Amino acid sequence: ELIKWSGPPGSIVKINFDGAYDGCHYKSASGIVSKNAEGIAILSYSETQKEVPSTFAAEALACRKVVQIGIEMQWLEIIIEGDSLAIIKKCQSKSQDRSQVGGYIHDIHKIIDKFNNIVFKYTLRSENGLAHILATESLKKTEEFYLLKNVSAYAEKQKIANWMREPD
């Protein structure tokens, strides 16, 4: 059974992120999608990065970009969801991070004070499918985009699947 994506309450914006990593070439891609309470895509985004040391760093870069987009879009109340439990926990923690992604986490902590309400939540990969598709396809195609009120063509199937449930 597929797990259906659930929308945020009220006027809060939910932003899902994922990082994809190519260890042979040390590059990554970030996939980001934000939706309102009705599940309508407000924004979808992907970018690629070079000289990324690890999968862990790819996830941290994607999370940092989510926070930056939240500020750019002037969303004051957001829920950020990702399927990297370690990165989510680091974002939730107030202590200084001394790991290899500590610089990215420090950047995130500096930015989050600008929000009225920000929540970092872990989500299962099955609930993060659209962000995952955006990241993996962007990495394969070295494609970047920033779309308002839309998602890329290759993510349309996943968008529809997020709304449907398979029978038992």
Beta strands in the chain (DSSP E): 13-22, 27-35, 41-50, 77-82, 117-122, 145-148
The model's pLDDT over 75-107, given as tens digits with 9 standing for 90+, comes to 989 999 999 999 999 999 999 999 999 999 999
pLDDT at 41: 83
Q: Which of 8, 32, 35, 30 is nearest to 19 (CA)?
A: 30
Task: Name residue, tokens 């970030």.
Answer: 30
- What pLDDT score does 11 carry? 75
Per-residue confidence (pLDDT) for residue 165, from 0 to 100: 45
Among residues 104, 60, 52, 49, which one has the least CA distance to residue 82? 60
Mean pLDDT of 120-144: 92
For the segment(s) 13-159, the CATH number from 3.30.420.10, 3.40.50.300, 1.10.150.130, 3.40.30.10 is 3.30.420.10
Q: Give 50's strand partners.
A: 27
State how far the Cα of 95 lies from the Cα of 164, in Å rounded to an integer. Answer: 40
Sheet of strand 13-22, all strands in order from the earlier edge strand to the far edge? 117-122, 77-82, 13-22, 27-35, 41-50, 145-148
pTM attached to this predicted model:
0.85
**What distance in Å separates the CA atoms of residue 134 and residue 129, rounded to the nearest whole number?**
9
In the chain, where are the structural domains located?
13-159
Contact 32, 134 (CB under 8 A): yes
